[in-house]
Amino acid sequence: MTKRILVVEDNDLNRKLFCDVLQASGFAVEPVADGNQAIERARAFIPNLVVMDIQLQDVSGLDLIATLKHDRDLAAVPVLAVTAYAGKGDEERIRESGAEGYLAKPVSIGPFMAAVKGLMEPAPETVS
C-alpha cells in the first residue's frame, strides 16, 4: 500500500520541491499551503507522516504539532519538522512539541529522504 505524506509548507518553492521528491519516490502526497487547514486535511487524508514547516504565516508549526499529538486519530502519525530556525535550543523545543524528526533549512534531498524513510519504516503496520 502506498504510504501517504502530508506536506505543510507555506513557501511555494519548498512545498513543490518536497512534494516532487516524495512523489518521485513513490509516496502519495497531499500539499497544504495554509497551516490553518493542516489539521482538517490531516484528518481527511490520514497520512503516514507529516512534514511540517515550523514558520508558517498564520499559525505556529509547533502549535500544529501539539494539536496533532493530542488528536486521538492522528497522535501516532510521526512528524518531521523542517525549519529555518536552527538556533540553540530550537531542535529541543520542536521535539518537545511532539516532532519525531527535525531538519534545518535549507534541506538537502539526501538527508530529507533519509529522515522521511527513517520515520516511516520503524513503526510496525497495524491491521485493522
What CATH number does residue 104 fall under? 3.40.50.2300
Backbone angles phi, psi at 24, to 5 degrees: -65, -25
Q: If residue 84 lies in a helix (H) or strand (E), which one and from where to where?
A: none
Tell me, yes or no, whether 20 lies in a domain.
Answer: yes
Across 94-108, average pLDDT: 94
31 domain-assigned: yes
Q: Does residue 127 lie in a domain region? A: no
pLDDT above 80 for 86 = no
pLDDT value for 128: 47
Q: Cα(120)–Cα(3) distance, rounded to whole angstroms? A: 8
Residue 27 lies in a domain: yes
- Mean pLDDT, the chain, rounded, equals 92
C-alpha grid cell for residue 125?
A: 503496520
pTM of this prediction?
A: 0.92
- Is the per-residue pLDDT at 87 higher than 60? yes
Domain-embedded: residue 128:
no
Domain containing 12: what range? Answer: 4-120
**pLDDT of amino acid 1:** 81
In a domain? residue 68:
yes
Most confident range (mean pLDDT) of 27-31, 54-58, 87-91 is: 27-31
Q: Is residue 52 part of a domain?
A: yes
Given a cut of 90, whether residue 81 has pLDDT beyond it is: yes
Structural domains of the chain, count = 1
Does 123 have pLDDT greater than 80? no
Residue 118 to residue 32: CA distance in whole angstroms: 22
Cβ atoms of residues 32 and 64 within 8 Å: no
- Would you state the pLDDT for residue 124? 54
Count CA atoms closer than 13 A to 119's CA, side-chain side: 24
Contact criterion met (CB below 8 Å) for 69 and 53: no
Report if residue 96 sits inside a domain: yes
